[in-house]
Amino acid sequence: MSDLRAYLTRIGHDGPVAADLPTLRALVHAHVTTIPFENLDPFSGVPVLLGAADIHAKLVDDGRGGYCFEHNRLLKTVLDEIGFTTVGLQARVVWGGPDQEVTGRGHKLLRIELDGSTYLADVGFGTSTPTAPLRVEADVEQETPHGVYRLLHDADAEGSGRGAWRQQANVRGEWLTTYRFDLTPAFPIDDEAPNWFLSTSPTSHFVTGLAGARATRDGRRLAVNGRSFAVHAADGSTDRRALETVADLRKVLTDELLIALPAGIDDALAKLFRP
């Protein structure tokens, strides 16, 4: 239980825990508003390790963040220890691209069976991470503390490689697809190849660019994209500013995204400011 206690302390959850929907909602919200999304390791040439001890040390003990494979594997470990029934899933990210585009299975999320219903939990999708679990039900708008989501079921997508389900987020009145997925279990070994590619390939956007995000408990979303820092307010407005120096970037990463920066990261951050 010591690791569970450390996790609950890390996310600031001091209430009861049980394998029920209130606990699931509380943990997802607390996780996303506390542990940031970030890719400092791939960006600085450090491969991402997916061992349970490695993830716990980085995201819990060291005050760091990570990306989907780290976040959702950590959450799965916690939920399993509490007594939830969980299954890992993989998704094809289409966020920012054509809705029907077939991409690789490069995103991890969780399926939870609870009281006769199926839910999704995903605490590692950057600026569009849902801050509440979503019930797996088609064509139903679902409110979260940070926006409205829905799931669409594409019956004709079975076997197409596109995934039978689509998750969509409502962004300023427009429904945008985040990723496509199906409910086929993905086991830990299935994470190894996409994680290796995303954290080491010179063509991976996690290797070539810097990204970071955290939702706040007052309904905002904070995002770093290279040298740009954006604050997305609950009313849909965005305040964006350029970061002019490594010191500016460090301050945003530590004070806003709440990342305990690793030693030696300045050399990697300086790449963003070179001509």
| CB-based contact 188:99 (threshold 8 Å) | no
DSSP state of 48: P
- What's the Cα-to-Cα distance from 141 to each of 35, 124, 146, 147, rounded to whole Å? 26, 21, 13, 10
Q: Which of the residues 29, 41, 71, 122 is marked catalytic?
A: 122
| CB-based contact 29:221 (threshold 8 Å) | no
Query: In this structure, how many other beta carbons lie within 10 angstroms of the beta carbon of residue 172?
Result: 9
Residue 29 annotated in active site: no
Q: Which of the residues 29, 31, 56, 68 is marked catalytic?
A: 68
Structure tokens at 65: 């963040």
Q: Which of the residues 56, 107, 146, 232 is marked catalytic?
A: 107
Residue 122 annotated in active site: yes
Half-sphere exposure of 272 (CA within 13 A, CB side): 26
Q: CB-based contacts of 122: which residues, under 8 Å, 6+ apart?
A: 68, 72, 109, 110, 129, 130
Instruction: Enumerate the active-site residues.
Output: 68, 107, 122
